[in-house]
Amino acid sequence: MKTFTRIAVAATLGAVMGTTAMAEGLYTPNLAYRTGPFAATGIPLMNGQADYMSMLNARDGGIGGVMIDFDECETGYSTEKGVECYEKTKGKAIVTQPWSTGITLQVLPKSNVDEIPILAPGYGFSPMADGKVFQWAFNTPLSYWDGASIILKYLEEQGDLSGKKIAFLHLDHPFGKEPLPYLEKKAEAQGFELVPIPVGLKEMQNQSAQWLQIRRERPDYVIMWGWGAMNAGAITEAVKTKFPMENMLGVWWAGHDADLKIVGEDGKGYKSVSWSFPNPDAPVMADVKQHVIDAGKSQTNEEEMQGVFYSRGLVISAILAEGIAVAQEHAGKAEISPADLRWGLENLNFTEERLEELGMTGMVPPFSTSCSNHTGHSGGWILEWDGSKFVKASDLIMPDSEVISELETASAQEYADANAPWPVNEDCEM
């Protein structure tokens, strides 16, 4: 009886505390990966995300007068743990931030049932751009196909790609394979040879075989789709094999300051496409410093704050915060539902003026979304490692929207057919 009473009291307390937590604000969980082999990439991103939300809570009292309950569920970048985190948080979450293409693919079908938006900025499944098919998924402001397209456009600026050989060094994981359909299509159309070179999860720190293949194949360029420990492994091997660094370009997750610091000057010339860029003079940075860093509410440090990934974390949370603000205005209430947030994320309009209002000028290119366009296709910059930090090496380059749009529609339809019956937003005009 005594035990039963204890259980009943605990259950009642739990229920009360749960209700209190719900009333505390808008619950926006982040499926973080601060541990495991990918932690080096994850930590600055997660810090940036958390700090931006903490800054809004401290400076503005949240968004629209309601506090943001920003919580992390640790996945270690494991798909299984990510799905567990999704199930654990979905009860009161207004958004899911899955933080891995593998987890995104797993929760994608669930989003139609649970009706919670998936926000995957700069990652996930590229056809998610088709909002008519993927009603609940958003990969603003650029998809992986956009990223691959921007890299190819940049390379074309350096010279005709016809007859050239491009090695595609990628993590042997859904994330790494994601741009392959686009690259294969472009290789056929533009007449360059694509050599895919997979890197297994256990081989990330020992890529000598992959780089021996690169030495044998003698590619003109290496495009790297790396994440976490793979980046440092690839860059050190590139230096070791004396591959010309100026001919090596990575996706935005392979443009992390800490990875390049391992090789320092030897990495000079390495490039990475990016849809975000640090602006230490931006007003938002001063606000984060004042309200979060100096207040001792952050896990970051001065050095990390200057980096590309921390800045990107801030931008990612700003996208979510803007979606919430737009949704609140549209719904006419502060306590919005996941469905309201979906509307907000479908009506983002990051103009230059809005970015200035947010104090984020130059930190992300302008972009807007709609019910049919869940990506925004903002365009990106090519960043170059100068031996100590990343600097901009190009103006804003827009992706090849004609080819990508065609591929997105076809792939989205293929996905919907393979997962039939798949609900489609018939009200949305393409």
Partner 1 sequence: MLNDIFIKPFVDMFSAPDFLLQVLWEGLVSGILYALIALGFVLIFRSSRIFNFAQGIMVVFAALTLVGLHAMGVPAWICVLLTLAVMFGLAVTIERVVLRPLVGQPDIILFMATIGITLFLIGLGEIIFGGENKVMITEELGIPTDSVVFEPWGGLLILEQKDITAVVVAALLVVALLAFLNKTRMGRAIRALGDDHQAALSVGISLQQIWVLVWFIAGIIALVTGIAWGARAGVSFALEVIAYKALPVLMLGGLESITGAIVGGLMIGMLEKLFEIYWGQPLLGGNTETWFAFVLALIVLLFRPQGLFGERIIERV
121 forms beta bridges with none
- CB-based burial, 280-319: b 16+ in 10 Å, e otherwise: eebebbebbbebbbeeeebebeeebbebbbbbbbbbbbbb
The pattern of x and - marking residues 26 through 55 that bind partner 1 according to CB under 8 A reads: --------xxxxxxx-xx------------
Which residues touch 182 (CB under 8 Å, ≥6 apart)? 126, 144, 145, 148, 149, 403, 404, 407
| Residue 202 contacts partner 1 per CB under 8 A | yes
Residue of the chain from 64, 174, 181, 200 that contacts partner 1 (CB under 8 A): 200
Selected from 128, 161, 197, 248, the binder of partner 1 by CB under 8 A is 197
CB 266, min distance to partner 1, A: 9
Binding to partner 1 by residue 209, rule CB under 8 A? yes
Which residue in the set 12, 19, 158, 208 belongs to the binding site for partner 1 (CB under 8 A)? 208
Residue 330 as a binder of partner 1 (CB under 8 A): the answer is no
Q: What's the Cα-to-Cα distance from 417 to each of 26, 110, 113, rounded to whole Å?
A: 35, 16, 17
* Helix/strand/coil for 177: helix
- 288 is a contact residue toward partner 1 (CB under 8 A): no
User: Tokens 């209700």 correspond to what residue?
Assistant: 19
Q: Cα torsion for 139, 144, 146, 147, to the nearest 10°? A: 120
- By beta-carbon proximity to partner 1, the closer residue of 239 and 336 is 239
Closest listed residue to residue 197, CA positions, set 226, 228, 227, 161 = 226
Residue with tokens 């499926």: 31
Other Cβ atoms within 10 Å of 20 Cβ, number: 9
CB of 35 to partner 1, least distance (A): 6
**Site pattern 153..182 for partner 1 (x: CB under 8 A):** -------------------x----------
Taking CB under 8 A as the binding criterion, the range among 102-110, 157-165, 226-234, 387-395 that sits at the site for partner 1 is 226-234
Q: Which CB, 168 or 350, lies closer to partner 1?
A: 168
According to the binding rule CB under 8 A, does residue 124 interact with partner 1? no
Instruction: Determine if 194 is a binding residue for partner 1 (CB under 8 A).
Output: no
- With residue 85 as reference, give the H or E element that holds it: helix 79-89
| 14 to 6, 18, 19, 25: CA distances (angstroms) | 12, 6, 9, 18
Q: Which residue's CB is nearer to partner 1, number 43 or number 120? A: 43
User: Which residues contact partner 1 (rule: CB under 8 A)?
Assistant: 34-40, 42-43, 172, 196-210, 212-213, 215-216, 228-229, 232-233, 236-237, 240-242, 258-259, 261-262
